[in-house]
Amino acid sequence: MTKREIILNADDLGFSAGVNQAVLVAHREGFLTHASLMANTDFFEEAVSVILPQCSGLKVGVHVNLTCAPALFSENVLTENGVLRNDFVKLLFKYKSRKVLESLEKEIELQILKIKERGIQITHIDGHEHVHIIPSINKIVRKLAAKYKIPRVREINESFTASFKYNLRTAGISNVLKLFLLKFLSLFNGNSRKVQFYSILNTCEINAENLFNYLENTGDRSVEIMVHPGIPKLDKGLGNLDQRFVSFLQSDFRTQELEVCLNNKFSEYF
């Protein structure tokens, strides 16, 4: 078995009670090594005050959130009544005027600072719904990562060959299109390619069979595996969120991805 660096990263820490508890379980009872924290969501305080003190070995990053929840920058022009209600496509095609770019940079910087001010050492930065891959936003993210000495920015450099070989059987057409789009946009982002990425074809639906087949049959490299574990029964009464996020948090796939984090086959790699 080829040994490699495995970064098993849970996105969306701070998004909901179910996500917070899943991260706690996945780290303490499983193999979760990293989590990306949302700074402007309802369960941020619980994540920082309750969850992270019990996860001393967990490495924490910034999960830049520009698509939902209240903005931290009060003059953000990307909001509706102070609330971010965007999606990847809307942000991709949004005309990047001076005010828009200013709003993007100030919002992202305030999210970074809110996490830093809680004494958290930030090890990486990525984006909710991959918004940090949009070149104009990626440029800002990399600038701020350098300013605040954040070591790693997530790169979507997933191998077409390996991903299609090991993940296509359970991939939906939307994720196939997403992979092509993200790989294309990544061409403009000056990636280092030091860490291979795994997840896009099975985004939010990671399964153990595909994942371990991939790990067992691909080369020696550092790999980041993006997961979205959750405990759906804890996520009720989410009326303040758009329905697409409610459906996501209450999906059985959240439980499936938590179980992936607990899979003892990871012991062969750690």
Does residue 13 lie within any of the structural domains?
Answer: yes
Contact call for residues 74 and 110 (beta carbons, < 8 A): no
Helix (H) or strand (E) holding 124: strand 122-127
In this predicted structure, what is the pLDDT of residue 3?
A: 64
**Helix ranges, the chain (H):** 17-28, 44-46, 88-93, 98-116, 135-147, 160-167, 173-186, 208-217, 243-249, 252-261
Does residue 253 lie within any of the structural domains?
Answer: yes
Give 29: exposed, middle or buried? Use CB within 10 Å, 0-12, 13-18, 19+: exposed
Does residue 215 lie within any of the structural domains?
Answer: yes
CA nearest to 101, candidates 125, 123, 118, 77: 77
Phi-psi region of 69 (alpha: psi -120 to 50; beta: other; left: phi over 0): left
Does residue 1 lie within any of the structural domains?
Answer: no
Q: Is the pTM of this model over 0.85?
A: yes
Does residue 166 lie within any of the structural domains?
Answer: yes
| Distance separating alpha carbons of residues 37 and 121, to the nearest angstrom | 12
Domain with residue 66: its CATH number is 3.20.20.370
One-letter amino acid for residue 216 of the chain: E
Does residue 96 lie within any of the structural domains?
Answer: yes
Can you give the pLDDT of all 270 residues of the chain as single tens digits?
A: 456 899 999 999 999 999 999 999 999 999 999 999 999 999 999 999 999 999 999 999 999 999 999 999 999 999 999 999 999 999 999 999 999 999 999 999 999 999 999 999 999 999 999 999 999 999 999 999 999 999 999 999 999 999 999 999 999 999 999 999 999 999 999 888 889 999 999 999 999 999 999 999 987 589 999 999 999 999 987 777 889 999 999 999 999 999 999 999 999 887
Measured at the alpha carbon of residue 207, what is the angle toward residues 203 and 211, in degrees to the nearest 5? 90
In this predicted structure, what is the pLDDT of residue 241?
A: 86
In this predicted structure, what is the pLDDT of residue 46?
A: 98
In this predicted structure, what is the pLDDT of residue 220?
A: 59
Does residue 158 lie within any of the structural domains?
Answer: yes
Find the domain containing 37 and state its range.
6-268
Tokens 């086959």 locate to 265
In this predicted structure, what is the pLDDT of residue 124?
A: 98
- Count of domains observed in the chain: 1
Does residue 167 lie within any of the structural domains?
Answer: yes
- Cβ-Cβ contacts under 8 Å for 74 (sequence gap 6 or more): 82
Give 56: exposed, middle or buried? Use CB within 10 Å, 0-12, 13-18, 19+: exposed
